[in-house]
Structure 1
Amino acid sequence: MKYAQRANVSPFFAMEVMKAANNLEAEGKTVYHMEVGQPATSAPSRVLQAAKDALDKKVIGYTEALGIPALRAAIAKHYGDMYDIDLDPGRVVVTTGSSAGFLISFLSLFNPSERVVLAEPGYPAYRNIMKSVDLEPVGIFCGPDTNFQPTPELIDKVAEPVHGLLVASPANPTGTMLTPTALENLVHYCDERDMHFISDEIYHGLTYTTEAVSALSYSDKSIIINSFSKYFSMTGWRLGWMVVPENLVSVVERLTQSLYISAPAVSQYAAIEAFNCKDELEVFKSNYEKNRSLLLEELPKLGLDKLAAADGAFYIYADISHLSTDSMDFCKRMLVECGVAATPGIDFDPVNGNKYIRLSFAGSYTVMQQAISALKSWLQ
């Protein structure tokens, strides 16, 4: 059967590794899951109760395409509480996960064949979604010298035309962050050149060295993508949000109506309570901090001493070039021979990712300890 060329996107190797790991477990093998960015915790207890109450007391049907007003208001209040930003709830768009937010952003901002710059290494779905809507993702290699983050100087080296920039801080897979000054410089760089600036902020709340700053602090033109999946521990609820300029709201609303009508109703009613669960969420975060400290202390002892800063999120991006220049083969062998499931760097950087792997520390502390022990036996 013939299929559209735009559908010919690269596989998401993290999910491929998870599938292989699950198959090994089904055979009775022990696997230490460090391949996907999924919290080991459930949604907060008040969120679970709100979902039960919604099922018992509300009619679960379509909602407004932009999201239920109470949730949009709660998200807007969150920007005041966390960033001291006075945000109009009318600019908030509730989406079916952050993935829908990226799709809607790309469709509403860019015409076919336009070019969007993004850092490599970076989240692979950026490239794949762009390609599926006939955009050209322009990857720029960002290494340790820039903390794996883009700079105006790197973007200046990209051939014209450039129509947009997508950044993530904290980033996946590296966990690195832009300083407030660096973020402000990038936002102004784009505004001065009439380039769209898209800020992936889904790991905000999960920072360990400094607090994250929203791009909204520097420009109302910025498009913000966020999610309830990571800090709020609600991956399977498929709920995210966007903050868009006022003149883009009606465009986004029409796209949303046609693409998926509305985000899941139960998830929306439950998510209102997510912002009232900080005590529980901070306990989740403290577990990630403990895992992070363990890995940053133990991995260098195993010879994995070239690590990205891991300022936020829940990932360690490790240079394995002294052990292998084929990260896919390395991850396959590591899974089969010692049971540690990790993601090959080629998922995030098709050019230089063969020399890196990503380890997620979103799981339990016990799993992290067991994985370190297994790696120690295997590597030494």
Structure 2
Amino acid sequence: MEVLKAVAARRRSHDDVILLCVGQPATPAPSPVLAAAEQALRSDVLGYTEAVGTLAFRTAIAGHYRDQYDLRVTPDEIVVTTGSSGGFLLALLAAFDPGDLVAITRPGYPAYRNDIVATGCRLLELDCGPATRYQPTVAMLEALDEKPAGLVIASPANPTGTIIGSDELGAISAWCADNGVLLISDEIYHGISVERSTPSAWGFNRDSVVVGSLSKYQSMTGWRVGWLLLPEALRRPVELLQGNLAICAPAISQAAGVAAFGPDARAELDGHVRRYAANRDILLARLPELGITSFAPPDGAFYAWCDIGHLTDDSQQWCADVLAATGVALTPGIDFDPIEGHRFMRLSFCGTGAEITEGINRLVAHLG
């Protein structure tokens, strides 16, 4: 968010900003969603919905898991939330008590770290580097001095874009089940991957929590609608928390979101994924021109987690200097990894191919 603030300042004085920092698609919601939203605006009251979400939207989500994962999920197992962020916070509040130990990966999404601390839980960061493709392993969990009450994983992950394979996800799920650890699986980037499948944790362990969202693949970040797949013991607590903290997710987003799972929307959205893949190829070919040869394999999402230790020991200042000199906005790694992030940056490739190319051209000229 600080980078976007600096971008706004840059735009007031220059008309040259290239956004390689944003964690959201550059495209609007698919046209069937926009049409459904218009219809809802004209014909629906759009008042409060049930705290758990409308039956129509939950049924559409359940159908999505049937069609895409061959999983039987019922609407009663789903709670619709105000984005995945709201859902994650509800899961933390429902599942854990102050003082419980909750593990996350490092590097990882910074809001998860902050939410865990804000709810009074103790934070355990698992140091996940290139040897494990920036993802946790059972061996890593077995080596812990204290078993956590919960484990948060993300696949594809932010900021690395790496995916946990089916065998490893199954092993992690089994370890959590055997050790009484609640697995919370962030799956909001599902649908955006290159040559690798993205299995769901519920394919292995239905006592886990799955976090989903329309934000990334469906290009609906600002619509603020996500969901949780919940084991039975957590459904009522999450429902009550939702009713008190948010009442319900936005009614317009739920009404329109049903169309996001239809074939016409998927055809449009798969076109975005092909563009992300082409942008990824551009980056992989050109990052060596910047001297960047060490980066996480971006199998999914739309990020490259790049080691820029040969360029700086202060990624925050370096990214600020690059924005001031070139108009190219990049995200410093320090928030994702407070230990090693000073020599990393996250580069987002969700824009157009022309933007990616121009951004790299400016960086090459700046560093040359």
Give the TM interval when normalised to the shorter protein. Answer: over 0.9
**Shift of residue 300 of structure 1?**
1.5
Contact 2:165 2:197 in 1 (8 A): no
Output the amino acid matched with 2:30: P
**Shift of residue 156 of structure 1?**
2.8
Alignment equivalent of 1:325, drawn from 297, 303, 313: 313
CA distance in 2, matches of 1:138, 1:177: 21
**Shift of residue 363 of structure 1?**
1.2
Residue in 2 that maps onto 1:47: 33
Output the amino acid matched with 1:331: C
Stretch of structure 1 that moved more, 362-371 or 94-103: 362-371
Q: Is 1:86 aligned to 2:72, yes or no?
A: yes
**Shift of residue 28 of structure 1?**
2.0
**C-alpha offsets along residues 137-192 of structure 1, whole Å, 9 cap, x if unaligned?**
21111000000001122223333141110000100000001110011111111100
**Shift of residue 31 of structure 1?**
1.2
Q: Is 1:20 aligned to 2:14, yes or no?
A: no
How do 1:195-234 residues align onto structure 2 when only pairs under 5 Å count? 195-234=181-220
Residue in 2 that maps onto 1:366: 354
**Shift of residue 247 of structure 1?**
2.5
Output the amino acid matched with 1:329: Q
Stretch of structure 1 that moved more, 56-65 or 247-256: 247-256
Q: Is 1:295 aligned to 2:272, yes or no?
A: no
TM-score between both structures, scaled by the size of structure 2: 0.98
Alignment equivalent of 1:349, drawn from 337, 354, 365: 337
CA distance in 1, matches of 2:364, 2:16: 16
CA distance in 1, matches of 2:168, 2:279: 28
In structure 2, list runs of 5 or more residues that go unmatched: none
What secondary structure is seen at the aligned counterpart in 2 of 1:165? strand
Output the amino acid matched with 1:322: H
What secondary structure is seen at the aligned counterpart in 1 of 2:334? helix
CA distance in 1, matches of 2:126, 2:201: 21
Output the amino acid matched with 2:218: F
Aligned CA RMSD, in angstroms, stands at 0.9
CA distance in 2, matches of 1:379, 1:306: 17
CA distance in 2, matches of 1:117, 1:138: 4
Q: Is 1:311 aligned to 2:311, yes or no?
A: no
How do 1:68-87 residues align onto structure 2 when only pairs under 5 Å count? 68-87=54-73
What secondary structure is seen at the aligned counterpart in 2 of 1:126? helix
**Shift of residue 312 of structure 1?**
0.1
Residue in 1 that maps onto 2:139: 153
What is the count of residue pairs matched by the alignment? 366
CA distance in 1, matches of 2:52, 2:288: 47
In structure 1, list runs of 5 or more residues that go unmatched: 1-14
Q: Is 1:375 aligned to 2:363, yes or no?
A: yes
Output the amino acid matched with 1:352: E
Residue in 1 that maps onto 2:125: 139
What secondary structure is seen at the aligned counterpart in 2 of 1:347? coil
CA distance in 1, matches of 2:367, 2:130: 24
**Percent identity at matched positions?**
45
TM-score between both structures, scaled by the size of structure 1: 0.95
Residue in 1 that maps onto 2:21: 35
**Shift of residue 301 of structure 1?**
2.5
**Shift of residue 21 of structure 1?**
1.0
Output the amino acid matched with 1:225: V
Output the amino acid matched with 1:313: A
**Shift of residue 299 of structure 1?**
0.7
